[in-house]
A and B are shown apart, each in its own frame.
Chain A
């Protein structure tokens, strides 16, 4: 499997210089009222995914996140669909996407005559956009050095910290060595590891960023009395948030941490980065951090991850739009029980069948194959769960977030 490090495949070159592993049309709804029409437009269409925001009142975090997804390396063109009375403006989304060099269109349902005519109009636009990007998008060689890969864990049990996350850590070390970018998040799952984490900082500046992100996460958890540990985690053998953190942090591997990025902000260079997705303090109070695994994945994709990894000990059946999701479990019983959903069995490390280093190389090979076009298990099953909610976070500018 060591050839994964040298392997190359054909990707899609975007106007900002980033390279995608898929060539998608994205339909973006700007309020819940336009959600049904948007999914109906994408239904049955190849390479067409849906994202959006359910709220009528707009939210800077949600808009930045949607724009980052709409200008993601895996996305070639965008159709934005609004109802016609919401705050979030589909025309502005289309403008921002066009400014990134991608074709984009938009319309209001209220100006298009209702559900049936809006769906027909949307399908006609998607067909046209897809034909255009299939014809015009330049193809380029890609390798691991061109990849940004994000990782989070969910439905964790005792095996996640022992095998699932360490296997990702071994892969992340290889990815960083190859010149790629590795991103992990969930600072609320680093609680209890402050000194351990600061010792990994690549620079004094990175250390200061890590300390600020850690301290904010602890203040957040204390103030909302919500710690990122769930009934399933306890049943799986994890007893405290500190213990869960220990396992969650294992996905970071062993390389220095270059610094902290925020939602919709691309890593500022190669190497290992932490994504801070915790809300900032605000007059409406903290609000909730990511309410479920899916919003965490959307945050990881928003920083430009062309592929995302999900480590689950107990098992999970989610997928994601925009970037393929690769599912890893450290629990071989879960791998067997959910064979159609699981991509990688890191439980073999616990059984002594594989070393961690071998697991990392095998995972690198799998990621390279998915990048080359092989559908991951969630892609094969058609999983494209999507969720974002209101949140307040000091958002980076579009040029920082999307490298216009």
Chain B
């Protein structure tokens, strides 16, 4: 979970939130040996890339998404990578944890997405940009949290469909979801909307 939904602005509620947060932290305990280590999206790409090219030499990366909650520093203990092979006309996803392929599955529907650009900012930088622009405010005001962050090309930038973009989706129980789209080449927020 990126942010505690208990974070509020009034002093009384603030103290209560602090106590509850301490309880949650104590219950969670320190990370134990053997626990999966969080990593950034790009850090897990190499192992997924190797696997994908064993599956199909012409496979290219088309999509990245967090498979577990994203931490405040933009890391997650599991990331999913989707590759598309034009030769096979199929897409195959790899879920990476602790530097290993945890799950490899053919996508059950057609998804011939365009290949992602070679250069893209890592998940930390994308999260920082989104938080600064709108995400942090949304979470504070509506008790929201980051539900998903995904990297795709062509789907979220109307003006520049060639661009690869990170899309960060924040959700709250009381408000419509917040979408923040970050240019994956430059790191700028290019679009924010509720829906």
Whether both chains belong to one complex is answered with no
